[in-house]
């Protein structure tokens, strides 16, 4: 009879270290900033005389995907929300306008729709995870 196969030793999870969490936060923030820049600068896209705000759907799926990806690597709510924070910072800076009163975002329904659709799906997912985590802690304490 042969000896049992050795179980491979899994190295320490890099996300459990403080450097791993910091690197994850920086990468997620950079991704959120990049999605924010793309969504803000491509929002005023027109084809002929028709506005084509397809970037709104892209922002919704990208933000939701980043939040879901972050949730696979950590349980910390602040780290999971980091891409949304970066996206919202870019949106608010673009909405503030410049010194001459000009702004990057159009002053119509597209800017509000981008804010709503960009934040709500990922925010719902984030809220569901936070509620599930708090219910799990409450059930464990009984």
Q: Where are the domains of the chain?
A: 19-43+53-96+105-137
Better-scored residue on pLDDT, 140 or 96? 96
Q: What average pLDDT does this structure show over 42-50?
A: 92
What was the pLDDT predicted at 89?
Answer: 97
Cα 28 to its chain centre, rounded Å, is: 7
Average pLDDT, the chain: 87
CB 132 within 8 A of CB 140: no
Residue 12 confidence (pLDDT) above 70: no
Residue 3 confidence (pLDDT) above 70: no
Better-scored residue on pLDDT, 74 or 121? 121
Per the confidence metrics, is the pTM higher than 0.75? Answer: yes
What was the pLDDT predicted at 65?
Answer: 96
Which pLDDT tens digit goes with each residue over 100-124?
878 889 989 999 999 999 999 999 9
SS3 51: strand
Q: If pLDDT is split at 50, 70 and 90, which confidence band does 7 have?
A: low
Which residues have a Cβ under 8 Å from the Cβ of 20 and sit 6 or more positions away? 13, 14
> What kind and span of H or E run contains 94?
helix 82-96
Rounded percentage of the chain residues whose pLDDT exceeds 90: 58
**97 torsion bin: left (phi>0), alpha (psi -120 to 50), beta (else):** left
Backbone φ, ψ for residue 64 (5° rounding): -65, -40
Which pLDDT tens digit goes with each residue over 81-99?
999 999 999 999 999 978 8
């Amino acid at each position: 009879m042969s000896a049992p196969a050795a179980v491979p030793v899994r190295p320490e999870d890099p996300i459990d270290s403080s450097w791993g969490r910091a690197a994850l936060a920086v990468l997620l923030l950079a991704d959120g900033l990049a999605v924010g820049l793309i969504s803000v600068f491509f929002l005023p896209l027109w084809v002929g005389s028709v506005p084509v705000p397809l970037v709104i759907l892209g922002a919704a799926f990208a933000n939701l995907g980043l939040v879901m990806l972050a949730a696979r690597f950590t349980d910390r709510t602040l780290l999971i929300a980091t891409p949304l924070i970066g996206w919202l910072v870019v949106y608010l800076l673009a909405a503030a306008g410049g010194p001459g009163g000009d702004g990057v975002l159009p002053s119509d329904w597209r800017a509000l729709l981008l804010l709503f659709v960009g934040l709500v799906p990922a925010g719902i997912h984030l809220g569901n995870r936070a509620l599930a985590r708090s219910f799990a802690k409450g059930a464990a304490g009984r």
